[in-house]
Amino acid sequence: MRRPGGWWRVKSTPEKVETYTRWSFHLFGVIEVFALGVTAYGRTGAGLATALFLLVTAHAAVSMLVSSRALDWTLGRRPQPVRLMWTLVVVSAVVSATAVVIAERGPAGEVETAAGSVYGGVLCFAAGVITLGVSGRRRMVAVVGGFAVGAGLLTFPLEMPLLASVVLAGLVMVTGGFLAITSIFSLWLLNAVYALDEARETRARLAVAEERLRFGRDLHDVMGRNLAVIALKSELAVQLSRRGRPEAVEQMIEVQRIAQESQREVRDVVRGYREAALEVELAGARGVLSAAGIVAEIDGETAGLPPEVQSALGWVVREATTNVLRHGDAKKVAVTVRMSEGRVVLTVENDGVAETTGDGPPTSSGGSGLSGLRERLSAVAGTLEAGPVGRGVFRLTAEVPLPAAAGSALEAAS
């Protein structure tokens, strides 16, 4: 069972920013309802106030829908919500015209003030929302300018002075422009976060591809020459054998020697990829985590550990780092290596557990997961424990006993 707030931890950083941006746009609608609709009850009678409140609420609901669909369009998930934007324009015009009628035919004084606030405020919020669904600076300026001009034209039935109409149009231009700039900046920030996240994934894929190319070059350098020599000597042995020459046996013996040497060299090449040195893995983990924006705290002394112990613990560090990057949203990772009663204890903690169900974060499949680590540690009589230890904290602990001679030397050095 998830703890409260688990839905938030499941999200990646870009998804969290998207959720924040989306609800910020919805907050504009809530502000519109309270600033224009609720406050009408303190300015006029209950009947007219309720009518204004319902009009503003309907307009705010359409605005929320348009902002949500426009956000999806910006992220490439939906087509441009053209019909919804025109619907918002029509709803804005209807609400504004109704407010004008109420201000013109209703009681003077406070009714005019309440209706006038709804009239100008609705156009300001609509201008800010519709700019989310258009692209290009000119179109955005045209949208805000169009609402400002419309605000000025709709004042003529009220027989307002020309200066007052110009001031009202200017207020719609400034306020609507401010809301539009705020919305566009939020979208730009969200797109930047997604672009950075995609760049990080691309960089990781390029690093893997580069490593594969390096392995391919190393293998080609080792096998290319030896295979060419084997092919030539095998061909020579065939020719000598057909002629009944005893030198064919010597050539095949040489072919056997080169093949065995090639096998040994290939093992040496592969060993560098299959074995994981603890010191190298700790340095690599620090670099990879720092590149991903995660604070890495590494503490402990690894000098003097037997090679088989370093290799087993190095795999633990490698797998733990991979899981931190793939799962959850960690901000800090702490790696500690310490000696305790003839055993080496490696602890890896991170604060980015996506789900705290008691089973720990997901691990990669096959031999690369926790089961694979347990198999590697069992080869050196080691143990592995993994699981959540607090709110959003996951701990992985590996213990490996030291050989008697190595343990005595390390204890004496410490």
The mean predicted confidence, pLDDT, of the chain is 78
Of 390, 354, 356, nearest to 13 by C-alpha is 354
More confident site: 95 or 47: 95
Give the tens place of pLDDT for each residue, 48-84.
778 888 888 998 999 999 999 999 998 888 898 999 9
> What pLDDT sits at residue 348?
92
Residue 36 above 90 pLDDT?
no
Q: Which of 119-133, 316-330, 388-402 has the lowest mean pLDDT?
A: 316-330
Give all strands of the β-sheet with 343-350 in edge-to-edge order. Answer: 295-300, 332-340, 343-350, 393-401, 383-390
How does pLDDT run across 362-402, given as a tens digit for each residue? 444 433 467 878 888 888 889 999 888 877 788 999 999 98
**pLDDT tens for residues 142-160?**
888 888 887 777 766 666 6
Q: Which residues contact 58 (CB under 8 A, 6 or more apart)?
A: 91, 95
**Domains of the chain, earliest start first:** 6-198 (no CATH), 210-273 (1.20.5), 278-413 (3.30.565.10)
Percentage of residues in the chain with pLDDT exceeding 70? 80
Q: At residue 358, does pLDDT exceed 70?
A: no
Residues 284, 288, 291, 294, CA torsion sign: negative
Dist. CA 186–CA 171, nearest whole Å: 23
pLDDT of residue 159: 62
C-alpha span between 413 and 302 (Å, rounded): 12
**Rounded to 5°, angle at Cα 378 from 373 and 381:** 135
Q: For 248-274, what is the mean pLDDT?
A: 77
Q: Which residues pair with 399 in a beta bridge?
A: 345, 383
pLDDT at 406: 47
| C-beta separation of 400 from 381 below 8 A | yes
Label residue 409 by pLDDT band (50, 70, 90): very low
More confident residue, 384 or 261: 384
Reported pTM: 0.56
